[in-house]
A and B are shown apart, each in its own frame.
Chain A
Amino acid sequence: MANFDLNDDGVFVIVGSGAGGGTLGNELAQKGIKVVILEAGDRVEIQDFVNDEWESFKQLAWKDMRTTSGTWRIAKDFPNLPAWTVKAVGGTTVHWAGASLRFHDFEWKTRSVYGAIQGANLLDWPITPEEMAPWYDKAEDKMGVTGTHGIPRLPGNNNFKVLQAGALKIGYKEVHTGNMAINSQPRDGRGSCQQLGFCFQGCKTGAKWSTLYTEIPKGEATGNLEVRPNSMVVKIEHDDSGKVTGVVYADTENKGTLKRQKARVVAVAGNSVESPRLLLNSASSKFPDGLANSSGQVGRNYMRHTTGSVFGVFDKPVNMFKGTVMAGIIRDESGNNPSRGFVGGYEMETISLGLPFSAAFLEPGGWGREFASRLDDYTRLAGMWIIGEDMPQESNRVTLNTNVKDEYGLPVANVHYDDHPNDAAMREHGYRQGSAVYDAVGATRIIGVPPYPSTHNVGTNRMSANPRDGVVNRWGQTHDIKNLFVSDGSQFTTGAGCNPTLTIVALAMRQADYIAHQMGQKNI
């Protein structure tokens, strides 16, 4: 395993070890580039994971102070937990559900397809679907996505069977157990899914792809990758010419001692709340509005998907907690069909919660007999998650809250979000269709559940052809500073109506190719 010197200014520094950072780190290491990944969280391995919702939350979740504003319901229900992401090696790939969907072609060019939508800051991606196709292929192969490359789909559990029966009954056609980065058979040195039902708590069998036990150890095995956990980057530094020279990070295992790691190139991959926060907190006299922010777009266009859940209560048992959480999908609503009253599409995916999280999330703030009766019905619940494209809005943004400081004296992130009317219309449609699915198979009661803290956070350092419109170019390279990259979901120009991880991984692989070429040419 590599061990690089703090003063080694030849290393490529990546901030974050999740889908973007972990993948990029391995890909670069495989190409012979020396990489240091600085990860804010601890290294929690498979054997440490616990099948216990709150214990696991304590172990893995990003719980650092954040604030919220705006009219979204999260600001009321979870004012200091706008996002549910992971602070540990592997980042959010540790707790993700595994759903690995490609964007539809139209989702790369929504400004052209949807037209101008009032209040939305739509923009076409500077990448074409044709260009992305081979990278999606590579990413699916890397992650072992079911339903692709001849990999069989997962078997359907009870929760899926309810979804499927209802969906087919009301005429939906594309219903299956999804494209999941969860082994349905042994692959890549990892075993197959044992239907534990704890995908969100870290997969204890390792059947689900996570950079923690795929990309990262593979990268480390090359001798070119060093991962430093408990290393919270607080600032990116630059020289007089404006080139990035390294990062300052707090060694949190060592009383937060500040250290400086020099770097040839820096890539930011701390998820869409922390990545813009870091760029903004790195403001200097040369870049008073923060790094890479000449467009003023850093932190803006925060997207979190239009989400909501529908749970059906039945008169007989479902036991939704048994088995893979999100292996079930209805895709029929994922196209763009403005006659529904909104642009963009959404997926309906199975979801299940254990009893503790059902109590916390089925009706945040709820109490009394009505609330209690939902939990009394726990074994007879079936659940789905609605996840659709939300509109990018300039005013939905991550800013620095200078009134609230973290332990290093730095302003925490404030996450502001208002639903766009398109988002609200889509959610309502999703609730209606979801209810119809469960009604069709005899639900005695329907529970419409508001959004959970955001698990899909994208868009705050968006990609644009024109430097005026966004933060990074088509390679995730910042428009302003050529040796500074963004490698996570924050580079998304628009959010598409599907789970983002596959696209983050595909973009990271593509970016690694570009970076290796540019470094070879000594352009960076």
Chain B
Amino acid sequence: MREIDRRTQIGRRVLLRGAATAIPAAALASAGMGISAQAIWAQSAKNLNPHTMATLVLVARDIYPHDQIADSYYVKAVQPYDEKVATDSKLREMIEQGVARLDADAQNHFKTPYIEVLSQQGRLTILQGETLVPFFNKLRSDLVVALYNQPDLWRRFGYLGSSFEYGGYINRGFNDIDWLPKV
């Protein structure tokens, strides 16, 4: 049995973020970091401002960090908030205040907004702030479905989803394991 590496190729952007501490924020921004308020998906938000959207996407990645997964999946996972806040003022308040709190804490510690804090460890420290618990828990519990329940994403993890239409696995490798020791 051959194992196919399903991961996307590691792009420059990810490498940059991984080694980010040495690179000034301005250079990174100009390098076209994917998660930015300037991105089309952030600019096209109807109800939340682009900066809030961008921050939510980065928070999503910080909560469930998969280096093999492109930003677009995280964007898709948080996009429903933009719709929901139109009719849910409590949610809007929670999100906007949460992002404001993240930014305030980031300013305190790192003199930049959250989205420009380059060290993931630094962001996690902020994210786990006591006043952010309800905001964090809401995002975490929503994202565990909103992120991982994207059929497009399943294949990245090697999960193949619905099998009935393909006749199940009876003729498609349900017992093809070949590396086990003989007993």
Contacts and interface: CB of A to CB of B under 8 A. Distances in A.
B145 A50 contact: no
A317 B172 contact: no
Nearest to B151: A52
A355 interface: yes
B72 to A, nearest CB: 17
A6 interface: no
A356 B148 contact: yes
Interface in A332-390: 354-356, 358-360, 365, 367-369, 371-372, 375-376, 378-379
B181 A441 contact: yes
B88 to A, nearest CB: 20
B10 interface: no
A310 to B, nearest CB: 17
6 contacts: A194-B168, A194-B170, A198-B163, A198-B164, A317-B1, A359-B145
B109 interface: no
B164 A204 contact: yes
Interface residues of A, number: 48
Contacts of A157: 169, 174-175
Chain A at the B interface: SS class:
loop
Given A158-B177, A319-B177, 12 more contacts: A158-B175, A197-B169, A322-B169, A322-B172, A322-B173, A323-B168, A354-B154, A354-B159, A355-B154, A359-B145, A371-B64, A379-B3
A355 B157 contact: yes
Interface of B: 1, 3, 63-66, 68, 124, 140, 144-145, 147-149, 154, 157-164, 167-170, 172-177, 179-181, 183
A514 interface: no
A480 B176 CA distance: 57
A128 B183 CA distance: 39
The 7 closest A-B pairs by CB, nearest first: A194-B168, A51-B162, A379-B158, A323-B174, A359-B148, A355-B159, A196-B168
Contacts, number: 126
Given A322-B174, A375-B148, A169 B169 contact: no
Given A355-B159, A372-B65, A51 B164 contact: yes
A164 B182 CA distance: 11
A289 B3 CA distance: 62
A287 interface: no
A354 B148 CA distance: 10
A138 interface: no
Interface in A311-330: 316-319, 321-323
Nearest to B162: A51
B179 A316 contact: yes
A378 B161 CA distance: 13
A121 interface: no
Contact of B180 (A161, A321, A359): A161
A194 B68 CA distance: 32
A179 to B, nearest CB: 19
A155 interface: yes
A105 B113 CA distance: 67
A349 B157 CA distance: 24
Given A157-B175, A165-B183, A379 B65 contact: no
Which of B63, B65, B177 counts the most chain A CB atoms within 10 A?
B177
Nearest to A316: B179
Contacts of B144: 359-360
Nearest to B183: A168
A198 to B, nearest CB: 7
A156 interface: yes
A54 B162 CA distance: 12
A194 B3 contact: no
Contacts of B140: 365, 367
A75 interface: no
Contacts of A222: none
Contacts of A80: none
Nearest to B68: A376
Contact of B157 (A197, A198, A369, A376): A376
A316 to B, nearest CB: 5
Given A161-B175, A162-B177, A323-B169, A50 B162 contact: yes
A486 interface: no
Nearest to A375: B157
Nearest to A196: B168
Contacts of B159: 321, 354-355, 378-379
Nearest to A194: B168
A197 B124 contact: no
Given A161-B175, A321-B159, A375-B148, A369 B65 contact: yes
B47 to A, nearest CB: 25
Which of A162, A197, A322 counts the most chain B CB atoms within 10 A?
A322
B161 A51 contact: yes
Nearest to A367: B63
A169 B183 CA distance: 7
B132 to A, nearest CB: 13
B64 A372 contact: yes
Given A356-B149, A368-B124, A317 B168 contact: no
B157 A195 contact: no
Which of B148, B157, B168, B176 counts the most chain A CB atoms within 10 A?
B168
A318 B177 contact: yes
Given A355-B148, A376-B157, A441-B180, A51 B3 contact: no
A321 B168 CA distance: 11
Contact of A196 (B3, B149, B169): B169
Given A156-B175, A157-B174, A317-B3, A51 B181 contact: no
Contact of A367 (B64, B158, B167): B64
Contact of A360 (B145, B175, B177): B145
Nearest to A204: B164
Given A157-B175, A162-B180, A376-B68, A321 B145 contact: no
